[in-house]
Amino acid sequence: MLSVYERVENLIKDNKNTTFKLIGKQILTDWSVGVFKSQNEISESCFVSLATVTQFAKACLCEGYKELSIRLKVEYENVMQNQLKTAVGSEVDEAAMITIINHWVKDNDNFLIDLANKINEKRKVWICPSYQSVYAAKFLEDVLTNIGVQAKIIDMSINLEVGKHLEFNDELIVVLLTGRDTETTVIALEYLMKANNEIFVVTTPSNITELPKIKELKHMLIDFQDNNFFYKYRCYALITLFFSLSEKIN
Protein backbone atom coordinates (compact mmCIF):
# COMPACT_ATOMS: atom_id res chain seq x y z
CA MET A 1 0.00 0.00 0.00
CA LEU A 2 1.40 3.40 -0.98
CA SER A 3 2.12 5.97 1.69
CA VAL A 4 0.61 9.44 1.35
CA TYR A 5 4.10 10.78 0.66
CA GLU A 6 4.42 8.37 -2.29
CA ARG A 7 0.98 9.39 -3.59
CA VAL A 8 2.07 13.05 -3.56
CA GLU A 9 5.30 12.04 -5.37
CA ASN A 10 3.30 10.20 -8.02
CA LEU A 11 1.15 13.27 -8.66
CA ILE A 12 4.33 15.30 -9.17
CA LYS A 13 5.54 12.78 -11.75
CA ASP A 14 2.26 12.95 -13.67
CA ASN A 15 2.81 15.50 -16.46
CA LYS A 16 -0.92 15.99 -17.11
CA ASN A 17 -1.68 18.45 -14.34
CA THR A 18 0.86 21.25 -13.85
CA THR A 19 -1.10 22.77 -10.96
CA PHE A 20 -0.98 19.51 -9.02
CA LYS A 21 2.77 19.38 -9.64
CA LEU A 22 3.22 22.83 -8.08
CA ILE A 23 1.15 21.90 -5.03
CA GLY A 24 2.91 18.55 -4.61
CA LYS A 25 6.39 20.03 -4.88
CA GLN A 26 5.54 22.70 -2.30
CA ILE A 27 4.15 20.08 0.10
CA LEU A 28 7.20 17.80 -0.23
CA THR A 29 9.63 20.72 0.06
CA ASP A 30 7.93 21.68 3.34
CA TRP A 31 7.79 18.04 4.45
CA SER A 32 11.56 17.64 4.03
CA VAL A 33 12.12 20.27 6.74
CA GLY A 34 9.18 19.26 8.95
CA VAL A 35 6.85 22.13 7.94
CA PHE A 36 3.14 21.52 7.35
CA LYS A 37 1.35 24.56 5.98
CA SER A 38 -2.37 25.19 6.32
CA GLN A 39 -4.64 24.94 3.29
CA ASN A 40 -4.71 28.73 3.04
CA GLU A 41 -0.91 28.91 3.11
CA ILE A 42 -0.57 26.26 0.39
CA SER A 43 -3.16 28.10 -1.69
CA GLU A 44 -1.21 31.37 -1.38
CA SER A 45 2.21 29.77 -1.93
CA CYS A 46 1.11 28.03 -5.14
CA PHE A 47 -1.28 30.76 -6.37
CA VAL A 48 -4.19 28.32 -6.61
CA SER A 49 -7.69 28.26 -5.14
CA LEU A 50 -8.64 26.47 -1.94
CA ALA A 51 -10.85 24.19 -4.04
CA THR A 52 -7.84 23.14 -6.12
CA VAL A 53 -5.91 22.23 -2.96
CA THR A 54 -8.90 20.13 -1.87
CA GLN A 55 -8.95 18.40 -5.26
CA PHE A 56 -5.24 17.63 -4.86
CA ALA A 57 -5.89 16.08 -1.44
CA LYS A 58 -8.69 13.94 -2.88
CA ALA A 59 -6.36 12.83 -5.69
CA CYS A 60 -4.14 11.53 -2.87
CA LEU A 61 -7.16 9.47 -1.69
CA CYS A 62 -7.82 11.73 1.32
CA GLU A 63 -11.20 13.26 2.15
CA GLY A 64 -9.68 16.72 2.24
CA TYR A 65 -6.53 18.70 2.89
CA LYS A 66 -6.84 18.37 6.67
CA GLU A 67 -6.61 14.56 6.45
CA LEU A 68 -3.72 14.83 3.97
CA SER A 69 -1.79 17.12 6.31
CA ILE A 70 -2.38 14.92 9.37
CA ARG A 71 -1.29 11.75 7.57
CA LEU A 72 1.85 13.47 6.25
CA LYS A 73 2.71 14.58 9.78
CA VAL A 74 2.33 11.01 11.04
CA GLU A 75 4.55 9.67 8.27
CA TYR A 76 7.13 12.38 8.93
CA GLU A 77 7.23 11.54 12.65
CA ASN A 78 7.63 7.83 11.85
CA VAL A 79 10.54 8.55 9.52
CA MET A 80 12.22 10.78 12.11
CA GLN A 81 11.77 8.14 14.82
CA ASN A 82 13.28 5.45 12.60
CA GLN A 83 16.27 7.67 11.81
CA LEU A 84 16.70 8.36 15.51
CA LYS A 85 16.68 4.63 16.28
CA THR A 86 19.29 4.04 13.59
CA ALA A 87 21.49 6.74 15.07
CA VAL A 88 21.36 5.33 18.63
CA GLY A 89 24.81 4.03 19.51
CA SER A 90 26.32 5.59 16.40
CA GLU A 91 25.47 9.27 16.58
CA VAL A 92 26.63 11.35 13.67
CA ASP A 93 29.68 13.45 14.45
CA GLU A 94 28.88 16.55 12.42
CA ALA A 95 32.48 17.77 12.48
CA ALA A 96 33.59 14.40 11.10
CA MET A 97 30.91 14.55 8.41
CA ILE A 98 32.12 17.99 7.32
CA THR A 99 35.67 16.59 7.07
CA ILE A 100 34.41 13.63 5.02
CA ILE A 101 32.52 15.94 2.65
CA ASN A 102 35.53 18.24 2.24
CA HIS A 103 37.71 15.24 1.34
CA TRP A 104 35.06 14.11 -1.13
CA VAL A 105 35.10 17.52 -2.82
CA LYS A 106 38.91 17.42 -3.07
CA ASP A 107 38.81 13.90 -4.49
CA ASN A 108 36.66 15.24 -7.34
CA ASP A 109 38.93 18.20 -8.08
CA ASN A 110 39.70 17.02 -11.63
CA PHE A 111 35.98 16.93 -12.48
CA LEU A 112 35.54 20.44 -11.08
CA ILE A 113 38.54 21.77 -13.01
CA ASP A 114 37.15 20.30 -16.26
CA LEU A 115 33.73 21.79 -15.56
CA ALA A 116 35.19 25.18 -14.58
CA ASN A 117 37.26 25.30 -17.78
CA LYS A 118 34.18 24.57 -19.84
CA ILE A 119 32.18 27.25 -18.00
CA ASN A 120 34.99 29.74 -18.61
CA GLU A 121 34.79 28.88 -22.30
CA LYS A 122 30.99 28.91 -22.73
CA ARG A 123 29.98 31.51 -20.08
CA LYS A 124 26.46 30.05 -20.22
CA VAL A 125 25.14 27.08 -18.23
CA TRP A 126 21.82 25.25 -18.11
CA ILE A 127 21.20 23.45 -14.80
CA CYS A 128 18.81 20.49 -14.84
CA PRO A 129 18.14 19.20 -11.29
CA SER A 130 16.05 16.32 -10.02
CA TYR A 131 13.56 17.18 -7.26
CA GLN A 132 15.81 16.65 -4.24
CA SER A 133 18.67 18.75 -5.65
CA VAL A 134 16.63 21.85 -6.59
CA TYR A 135 17.83 23.85 -3.56
CA ALA A 136 21.50 23.13 -4.38
CA ALA A 137 20.80 23.97 -8.04
CA LYS A 138 19.48 27.40 -7.01
CA PHE A 139 22.66 27.98 -5.02
CA LEU A 140 24.75 27.08 -8.10
CA GLU A 141 22.63 29.39 -10.26
CA ASP A 142 23.15 32.30 -7.83
CA VAL A 143 26.90 31.69 -7.49
CA LEU A 144 27.45 31.55 -11.25
CA THR A 145 25.28 34.63 -11.87
CA ASN A 146 27.23 36.62 -9.27
CA ILE A 147 30.53 35.90 -11.03
CA GLY A 148 29.22 36.92 -14.44
CA VAL A 149 28.19 33.55 -15.89
CA GLN A 150 24.75 33.27 -17.49
CA ALA A 151 23.04 30.44 -15.57
CA LYS A 152 19.49 29.18 -15.76
CA ILE A 153 17.63 26.31 -14.09
CA ILE A 154 15.37 24.34 -16.39
CA ASP A 155 12.93 22.52 -14.12
CA MET A 156 11.71 19.72 -16.34
CA SER A 157 9.95 18.08 -13.40
CA ILE A 158 7.25 20.73 -13.86
CA ASN A 159 6.75 20.16 -17.55
CA LEU A 160 9.09 18.18 -19.79
CA GLU A 161 7.47 19.75 -22.87
CA VAL A 162 8.87 23.15 -21.83
CA GLY A 163 12.37 21.77 -22.10
CA LYS A 164 11.69 20.14 -25.44
CA HIS A 165 10.85 23.51 -26.97
CA LEU A 166 14.17 25.05 -25.93
CA GLU A 167 17.26 24.85 -28.13
CA PHE A 168 19.90 22.80 -26.32
CA ASN A 169 22.21 22.02 -29.24
CA ASP A 170 25.87 22.58 -28.36
CA GLU A 171 25.04 23.92 -24.90
CA LEU A 172 26.78 23.33 -21.57
CA ILE A 173 24.44 21.45 -19.25
CA VAL A 174 24.90 20.38 -15.63
CA VAL A 175 22.53 17.59 -14.59
CA LEU A 176 21.98 16.89 -10.88
CA LEU A 177 20.50 13.41 -10.63
CA THR A 178 19.96 12.63 -6.94
CA GLY A 179 17.27 11.47 -4.53
CA ARG A 180 13.98 9.67 -5.05
CA ASP A 181 12.10 11.63 -7.70
CA THR A 182 14.50 11.22 -10.64
CA GLU A 183 12.24 9.64 -13.25
CA THR A 184 11.49 12.85 -15.15
CA THR A 185 15.11 14.02 -14.95
CA VAL A 186 16.26 10.71 -16.45
CA ILE A 187 13.85 11.26 -19.35
CA ALA A 188 15.20 14.81 -19.71
CA LEU A 189 18.81 13.55 -19.68
CA GLU A 190 18.05 11.00 -22.39
CA TYR A 191 16.50 13.82 -24.45
CA LEU A 192 19.47 16.14 -23.89
CA MET A 193 21.94 13.43 -24.87
CA LYS A 194 20.41 13.23 -28.35
CA ALA A 195 21.66 16.71 -29.23
CA ASN A 196 25.29 17.80 -29.50
CA ASN A 197 25.57 18.97 -25.89
CA GLU A 198 28.41 19.14 -23.39
CA ILE A 199 26.87 17.41 -20.36
CA PHE A 200 28.33 17.11 -16.87
CA VAL A 201 26.42 14.87 -14.44
CA VAL A 202 26.53 14.77 -10.64
CA THR A 203 24.74 11.63 -9.53
CA THR A 204 24.65 8.59 -7.25
CA PRO A 205 25.94 5.05 -7.88
CA SER A 206 22.35 3.73 -7.90
CA ASN A 207 21.35 6.12 -10.69
CA ILE A 208 24.32 5.02 -12.80
CA THR A 209 23.12 1.44 -12.34
CA GLU A 210 19.66 2.45 -13.58
CA LEU A 211 21.04 4.49 -16.49
CA PRO A 212 24.43 3.06 -17.60
CA LYS A 213 24.64 5.64 -20.43
CA ILE A 214 25.75 8.17 -17.78
CA LYS A 215 29.17 6.49 -17.86
CA GLU A 216 29.61 7.85 -21.39
CA LEU A 217 29.29 11.42 -20.06
CA LYS A 218 31.56 13.44 -17.81
CA HIS A 219 30.25 12.52 -14.39
CA MET A 220 31.06 12.35 -10.72
CA LEU A 221 29.47 10.37 -7.91
CA ILE A 222 27.91 11.38 -4.64
CA ASP A 223 29.63 8.55 -2.83
CA PHE A 224 31.07 10.01 0.37
CA GLN A 225 30.80 7.62 3.27
CA ASP A 226 28.22 7.23 6.00
CA ASN A 227 25.23 9.58 5.94
CA ASN A 228 25.18 10.80 2.33
CA PHE A 229 21.62 9.44 2.07
CA PHE A 230 20.40 12.07 4.53
CA TYR A 231 19.01 15.09 2.70
CA LYS A 232 20.78 17.65 4.88
CA TYR A 233 24.24 16.16 4.35
CA ARG A 234 23.75 15.64 0.64
CA CYS A 235 22.53 19.22 0.27
CA TYR A 236 25.47 20.56 2.27
CA ALA A 237 27.84 18.43 0.17
CA LEU A 238 26.48 19.79 -3.13
CA ILE A 239 26.68 23.38 -1.91
CA THR A 240 30.27 22.80 -0.77
CA LEU A 241 31.03 21.26 -4.16
CA PHE A 242 29.59 24.22 -6.04
CA PHE A 243 31.43 26.71 -3.83
CA SER A 244 34.68 24.95 -4.72
CA LEU A 245 33.67 25.06 -8.39
CA SER A 246 33.07 28.82 -8.24
CA GLU A 247 36.59 29.36 -6.92
CA LYS A 248 37.97 27.82 -10.12
CA ILE A 249 36.02 30.05 -12.54
CA ASN A 250 37.66 33.19 -13.90
Q: What is the pLDDT of residues 7-60, one digit of tens each?
A: 898 888 875 778 999 999 999 988 887 888 999 999 999 999 999 999 999 999
pLDDT given at position 2: 76
Question: pTM for the complete prediction?
Answer: 0.63
- Average model confidence (pLDDT) for the chain? 83
Parallel, antiparallel or unpaired: strands 198-203 and 172-177: parallel
Query: Hey, is 203 helix, strand or coil?
Result: strand
pLDDT digits (tens, 9 = 90+) for 117-175: 999 999 999 998 887 788 899 999 999 999 999 999 886 555 455 555 556 667 899 99
Question: What's the pLDDT score for residue 83?
Answer: 61
Whether 110 shows a pLDDT value over 90: the answer reads yes
Contact of 127 with 154, CB cutoff 8 Å: yes
Residue 171's pLDDT is 80
230 vs 199: CA distance, rounded Å: 26
158 alpha carbon, distance to own chain's centre: 12
- Give the separation between CA 179 and CA 131, rounded to whole angstroms: 7
Tell me, what's the pLDDT at 82? 64
185 neighbors 129 (Cβ within 8 angstroms): yes
Q: What distance in Å separates the CA atoms of residue 200 and residue 118, rounded to the nearest whole number? A: 10
Q: What's the distance, Cα to Cα, between the start and end of the chain in Å?
A: 52
